[in-house]
Amino acid sequence: MTGAAYRAEQRATLSGPAVFFLVFLPFALGHFLSSLLRTVNAVLAPTLLTAMALTPAQLGLLTSAFFFAFALAQLPVGVALDRYGPRRVQLVLMSLATLGTLLFGRGQNFTELMCARAIMGVGLGGCFMSAVKAISTWIAPARLPSVQGYLIAAGGLGAAAATLPIRLALQYTDWRGLFASLAALVAIVGLLIYLLAPEGRRGAPRKPMTPRALLDVYRDPGFRDTISLMLVPHAVFFGVQGLWAGKWLSDVVGFSDAEVAWLLYLSMAAVIFGAIGVGMLTEWAGRRGVAPLRVAGVGVALFVAVQCAMLLGGGGFARQLPVLFALFGTITGLEYAIVAQSMPATLTGRAATCLNLLIFVGAFLVQAGFGLILGCWSPNQQHQYPPQAYQAAFGVLIALQLPGLIRYFLRRGKAAPPSGKMTPAIGHPAPLHTPKEEYETGPLWPPRQGEARPDRR
């Protein structure tokens, strides 16, 4: 029996409500907690700076250690998911995340906190990938795009829970008690996944991710064009939103901790609606012959414009800027879909892994580098840094994003280089479609004669 036939048989054994409660909900809760713990330091930053006597550089390294460990976990987690399945892998990883969360709440110095944060990153590094693999096994392919959208929304809810709800929780406990409670939640969700999620068939292990395999991915024009425009903005979005947006509101604009928590909560709500809206907008544009990369180009330009406004201090729009930063930042999530659609089918799996690795390494560098730049200035007695420090930091980030954006607009009028997935075979002319037909039926075209398509699990 082929893998596709086996998965079809599996899906037939579970009803719709059973798939929701036994597959989607447990894994979505894991992704919810991963997003919460990834961004919680944005609200806790003033508390950690005071309680642990941290410098901005140390705070940046501490928070970004999650991203670095998360990135390092991507390759081995991907192999483990294929070999052992998401149910078993998540039990081990969520147990590790529980340990890291407990250790963070007990940390007594910078080194202990950073090591604990790194353990959390490794433990939570499989939440999204495990969820995607589980739902792709138990949910019909026609429903995958919408269900994955709901999964991303669950992550947005987790990031939202890391703002105002965390601020309210701190009225009843300190930050150490908060992390003890979060550790208990992580353990419970890991156990729920193991007890509730059905066991799927283990797939054959992937081919090793060798340097040659990575080079094959980078050589593809579709991959290079996409990351040249979107990789740095994606890393900036994760890095700034997860820590420094709140400090900018406190130090530059002068908002209180309660106001910062409320605005960050609204920002996370913007992430949820932005993720859904970007998908709808891209689909609407695709039906009219507008490529997703063009939608992304406009979105990245608006995203950089918001950062320019933050560099200038915000003026009378300071309250709206973090919300707009989060809203336009969600456009970078298109990167995964664009790469998958523009590359040969034989490279899409490796490309997704490479993309995850690059994004989270970039987010680590953004968070750590931002803190190092702020550390070049002296804080006041409230541990606030002057506007000039943030202007320098945002100036560096904008300068890093402009080359890719300028390159995209300079090349926009030229024909895009062909990618292996879209190039018709010699002697087989490409079928003629209207833009709407091409958008709707393009992914459904059968493989060319002699072209092997992998069995995607």
170 exposure class (CB count in 10 Å sphere: 0-12, 13-18, 19+): middle
Greatest CA separation for the chain:
73
Give residue 376's identity as a one-letter amino acid code. C
Residue with tokens 């080359």: 403
pLDDT bracket for residue 451 (50, 70, 90):
very low
Cβ 67 vs Cβ 363: under 8 Å: yes
Give residue 331's identity as a one-letter amino acid code. I
Q: According to the model, what pLDDT value does residue 350 have?
A: 67
Chain-centre distance for alpha carbon 72: 15
Cβ 322 vs Cβ 249: under 8 Å: yes
Rounded Cα distance between 356 and 227, Å, is 11
Q: According to the model, what pLDDT value does residue 414 have?
A: 62
Residue with tokens 């390294």: 61
End-to-end CA distance of the chain: 14
pLDDT bracket for residue 200 (50, 70, 90):
low
Rounded Cα distance between 91 and 114, Å, is 23
What is the b/e burial string over 73-99, where b = at least 16 CB atoms within 10 angstroms of the residue's CB? bbbebbbbbbeebbbbbbbebbbbbbb
Whether the pLDDT of residue 135 is over 90: the answer is no
Cβ atoms within 10 A of the Cβ of 432, count?
Answer: 7
For residues 427 and 162, the model is more confident at 162
The length of the chain, given as a count of residues = 457
SS3 state of residue 346: helix
Q: According to the model, what pLDDT value does residue 113 have?
A: 95
| Tens of pLDDT, residues 240-285 | 987 899 899 999 999 988 898 889 889 988 988 887 788 778 878 8
Residues near 61 by beta carbon (within 8 Å), at least 6 away in sequence: 114, 367, 368, 371
Reported pTM:
0.73
Cβ 454 vs Cβ 345: under 8 Å: yes
SS3 state of residue 205: coil
| Tens of pLDDT, residues 334-376 | 887 777 667 665 565 567 777 888 898 999 999 999 999 999 9
Residues near 111 by beta carbon (within 8 Å), at least 6 away in sequence: none
| Tens of pLDDT, residues 1-31 | 444 444 445 554 677 788 888 889 999 999 9
Cβ 229 vs Cβ 116: under 8 Å: no
Cβ atoms within 10 A of the Cβ of 112, count?
Answer: 14
Q: According to the model, what pLDDT value does residue 232 have?
A: 96
Q: What would the two tokens of residue 52 be? A: 């642990």
Rounded Cα distance between 245 and 439, Å, is 37
Residue with tokens 């392919």: 141
CA distances from 68 to 149, 171, 221, 271, 336 (A): 25, 31, 27, 22, 19
Give percent of the chain with pLDDT exceeding 70. 79
Q: According to the model, what pLDDT value does residue 285 have?
A: 84
For residues 169 and 275, the model is more confident at 169
Residue with tokens 């799927």: 200
Whether the pLDDT of residue 454 is over 70: the answer is no
Q: Report the pLDDT averaged over residues 416-421.
A: 46
Rounded Cα distance between 119 and 101, Å, is 8
Rounded Cα distance between 51 and 398, Å, is 32
Q: What would the two tokens of residue 340 be? A: 């998958």
Whether the pLDDT of residue 444 is over 50: the answer is no
Rounded Cα distance between 161 and 36, Å, is 6
Whether the pLDDT of residue 146 is over 70: the answer is no
